[in-house]
Amino acid sequence: MIGGRYLFIAGLLLSCHVGLLAYAATRHSPTQDEPAHLVAGLSHWEFGRYELYRVNPPLVRLIAAVPVLLAGYHQDWMRFYEAPGARPEFDLGRDFIQANGERSLWLVTIARWACIPFSCCGALFCFFWSRELWRSDTAGLISLTLWCFDPNILAHGELITPDCAASSFGLGTCYCFWRWVQQPCWKKAMIAGVMLGLTELTKTSWLILFAVIPVVCLPQLIRTECPEPGIAHRFRVVLPLIVQLVSSHLLALFVLNLVYTFDGTFTPLRDYQFVSQSLTGASLSGTPGNRFRSTSLKDFPVPFPKQYILGIDVQKHDFEDYRDLSYAHGIWKRGGWWYYYAYGLAVKMPHGTQILLIVSLALIFSGMLVSSVYAVCDFCRVPSKGIAFLFVPPLALFLMVSSQVGFAQHVRYVLPVMGFVFVICGVSARQAQ
């Protein structure tokens, strides 16, 4: 049970967070991407099509568009077109601003307000995971405070963009699977599966979770206590848990396809028209093609929505052949740097958070080195079971994004690691007590 005092403080912190986001949404002009995101969301509702802004899944756009649909809007769709690698959403976004004039500012504002709950979810996941992991209400409040007042979270939590939602739901998915590993059951597995599906609907970079989560879970399942010795007995104990894990991933895939209304699901691989070098096999990025048409995989029915796969292809094409220059530490260049996102976080993360992170990591790893067996460190009480969920997924995301050196822009691409940082920092509460 959470004490009344802690609940009051948590509610106060969350209220301040919502107030800051709601106020900022009224004061800041639309970013370059927001009108395009909003128009794409409107097209999903109006026409049931998902071509616009396909480089990101549609969940945030769908939510942002609801109040605009209710309020009414004007839009000229004449510049919509479909072709391999097409990105007409930015032209349509400018048309939206022109068609609605000054009223477009109000429409963007109410669309932003509709997205605030995504950030609130992230704040709550921080609070509950930190509180349960470090067994301290104070730890939960530390992580909650860091989320609610972090300038990066505040900057993106007010926008009609998927970065804050991806940060929230990515953290929530790992938290749900962590809870399932602690006490596996079908209910927790299904909740985790739904969360994984929602996470995949925020940003395609979290596609790696389909591989990372089993990698983290399986060692924990194999070490599950067995009442009788022998491989056969262990197999009977572990097999139902593996079935739950597989079922959770299948449920996530169903949720992903459901929100896309199964648009192009199970399209044969040969029917895709790609533009990235990786998927076309062409020597020049941007040349339409499909490297799989002459392979044994050509008839494989892809179990993802068609626009989801094409969005990954277009995003990959952008990394391969990005025309704009990249900038970091006073240097402009074509292409990026492998260390760009580490440098960006070093610059953009508050120094107080950085110091707290260093102290917290020292507490965790020193405790794990001293501990033994189910190891609960006497000093900081770090439970070893499932703690890999706190480190492996964000590290995998960070390395995956950093490996794309076609261009280096937007530190927000690694924003999802921030929630994990805040939960890690919660362990400092053990030192304070």
**Residue 273, in any domain of the structure:** no
**Residue 299, in any domain of the structure:** no
Beta-strand pair 267-268/301-302: antiparallel
pLDDT of 395: 97
Does 270 have pLDDT greater than 80?
yes
Alpha carbons 81 and 263: distance in angstroms, whole number: 18
Q: Region 65-76: what's the mean pLDDT? A: 96
Of 44-53, 105-114, 138-147, 223-232, which gets the smallest average pLDDT? 223-232
**What tens digit of pLDDT does each residue of 187-220 get?**
999 999 999 999 999 999 999 999 999 999 988 8
Does 221 have pLDDT greater than 90?
no
Does 373 have pLDDT greater than 50?
no
**What tens digit of pLDDT does each residue of 340-371 get?**
999 999 999 999 999 999 999 998 887 766 65
Backbone angles phi, psi at 401, to 5 degrees: -65, -40
Question: At 378, is the pLDDT very low, low, confident or very high (cuts 50, 70, 90)?
Answer: very low
Tokens of 324: 């704009």
Question: At 382, is the pLDDT very low, low, confident or very high (cuts 50, 70, 90)?
Answer: low
Q: Region 328-347: what's the mean pLDDT? A: 88
Residues in the chain: 433
**Residue 178, in any domain of the structure:** yes
Backbone angles phi, psi at 369, to 5 degrees: -70, -40
**Residue 318, in any domain of the structure:** no
Does 433 have pLDDT greater than 90?
no
The β-bridge partners of 267 are 302
Alpha carbons 38 and 44: distance in angstroms, whole number: 10
**What tens digit of pLDDT does each residue of 10-55 get?**
999 999 999 999 999 999 999 999 999 999 999 999 999 999 999 9
Question: 3-state secondary structure string, the chain?
Answer: CCCHHHHHHHHHHHHHHHHHHHHHHHHCCCCCCHHHHHHHHHHHHHHCCCCCCCCCCCHHHHHHHHHHHHHCCCCCCCCCCCCCCCCCHHHHHHHHHHHHCCHHHHHHHHHHHHHHHHHHHHHHHHHHHHHHHHCCHHHHHHHHHHHHHCHHHHHHHCCCCCHHHHHHHHHHHHHHHHHHHHCCCHHHHHHHHHHHHHHHCCCHHHHHHHHHHHHHHHHHHHCCCCCCCCHHHHHHHHHHHHHHHHHHHHHHHHHHHHHCCCCCCCEEHHHCCECCHHHHCCCCCCCCECCCCCCCCCCCEECCCHHHHHHHHHHHHHHHCCCCCEEECCEEECCCCCCHHHHHHHHHCCHHHHHHHHHHHHHHHHHHHHCCCCCECCCCCCECCCHHHHCHHHHHHHHHHHCCCCCCCCHHHHCCHHHHHHHHHCCHHHHHC
pLDDT of 233: 62
Instruction: Name the pTM for this structure.
Output: 0.93
Q: Region 292-312: what's the mean pLDDT? A: 95
pLDDT of 408: 78
Question: At 287, is the pLDDT very low, low, confident or very high (cuts 50, 70, 90)?
Answer: confident
Does 375 have pLDDT greater than 50?
no
Q: Which of 133, 152, 157, 154 is nearest to 143 (CA)?
A: 133
**Residue 317, in any domain of the structure:** no
Burial of residue 276 (number of CB atoms within 10 Å: 0-12, 13-18, 19+): buried
pLDDT of 228: 65
Q: Which of 209, 3, 5, 11 is nearest to 123 (CA)?
A: 11
Tokens 């749900």 map to which residue?
176
Angle (CA) 268-269-271 rounded to 5° is: 75
Q: How far apart are the first and last CA of the chain?
A: 19
Number of domains in the chain: 1
**What tens digit of pLDDT does each residue of 410-426 get?**
899 999 999 999 999 99
Contact 133, 182 (CB under 8 A): no
Tell me the residue range of the domain where 77 lies: 4-263+329-432
Contact partners, residue 294, CB within 8 Å, separation at least 6: none
**Residue 323, in any domain of the structure:** no
Question: At 330, is the pLDDT very low, low, confident or very high (cuts 50, 70, 90)?
Answer: confident
Question: At 104, is the pLDDT very low, low, confident or very high (cuts 50, 70, 90)?
Answer: very high
**Residue 253, in any domain of the structure:** yes
**Residue 392, in any domain of the structure:** yes
Of 91-95, 213-217, 243-247, 281-285, which gets the smallest average pLDDT? 281-285
Alpha carbons 397 and 416: distance in angstroms, whole number: 8
Tokens of 95: 């048309």
